[in-house]
Structure 1
Amino acid sequence: MRTEYNDIKLVKNEAKKRFEIEIDGHFAFIDYREIGKQIALVHTETDPELAGKGAATAVVEKTLHYLDENNIVLLPFCPYVFAYIKKHPEWKRLVSPKFNGYDKL
């Protein structure tokens, strides 16, 4: 994650069912669904103004830290999140072993 994003706060926007960060009035976010003590991350997106600036990576990293700190089990349905975990296998520990695709991480 780029250092300029270190101090940007992650918000769990329960009304919109997404984790989000705001940068200069624009958003990077991950849509989620809660299933008991598990969270399914289903889609990562950034406003066009943030494209190519590392905002998607920042929101993924911040969300993974949040899940880790709150002992929440992850279901990474979002291809971007799945690919991030595959590149950073230290985060696989958050993924439910029952997740279809766990063995591909």
Structure 2
Amino acid sequence: MTPGAQVTNNEAENRYEIKLNGQVVGMADYQPEGDTLIFTHTEVEEGHEGQGLGSELIQAALDDARSQGLQVVPACQFVAAFIQEHPEYADLVPQER
């Protein structure tokens, strides 16, 4: 994790936030649906892109979802790409029947 970075789940806003030295610099919005989190949008503030903060944010969010026994739907392109690049998270995505 980047020094000074912290990821929290802001349940009131339905989003995971990554803070750098106490300031929110990125967020991953989700829509809860039963035992599933549908990730709809990920954003890292201008000036903080390209530092790996988005990946740290998504990894922490997926780890949190796993710890709660939740599944995830990567409706957001960034989350989908992260899961594709990190197959250890593929089990969180419900399989089509």
> How high is the TM-score relative to the length of structure 1?
0.82
Cα offset, 1:91, TM superposition: 0.6
Q: Whole-Å Cα distance in 1 between the matches of residues 68 and 13 of structure 2?
A: 20
Structure 1 residue ranges without an equivalent (≥5): 100-105
Equivalent residue number for residue 13 of structure 1: 10
Equivalent residue number for residue 58 of structure 1: 56
Q: Whole-Å Cα distance in 2 between the matches of residues 75 and 8 of structure 1?
A: 25
> How high is the TM-score relative to the length of structure 2?
0.88
Letter in 2 for 1:16: E
Cα offset, 1:82, TM superposition: 0.4
Q: Whole-Å Cα distance in 1 between the matches of residues 7 and 52 of structure 2?
A: 15
2:79 is equivalent to residue 75 of structure 1: no
Match of 2:19 among 1, 19, 22: 22
Cα offset, 1:28, TM superposition: 1.2
Equivalent residue number for residue 47 of structure 2: 49
Equivalent residue number for residue 93 of structure 1: 91
**1:19-55 deviations in Å (ceiling 9; x for gaps):** 1111132421100000011110011101112111111
Cα offset, 1:9, TM superposition: 3.2
RMSD: 1.7
Equivalent residue number for residue 33 of structure 1: 31
Letter in 2 for 1:83: A
When you count strand as a share of all residues, which structure comes out higher? 2
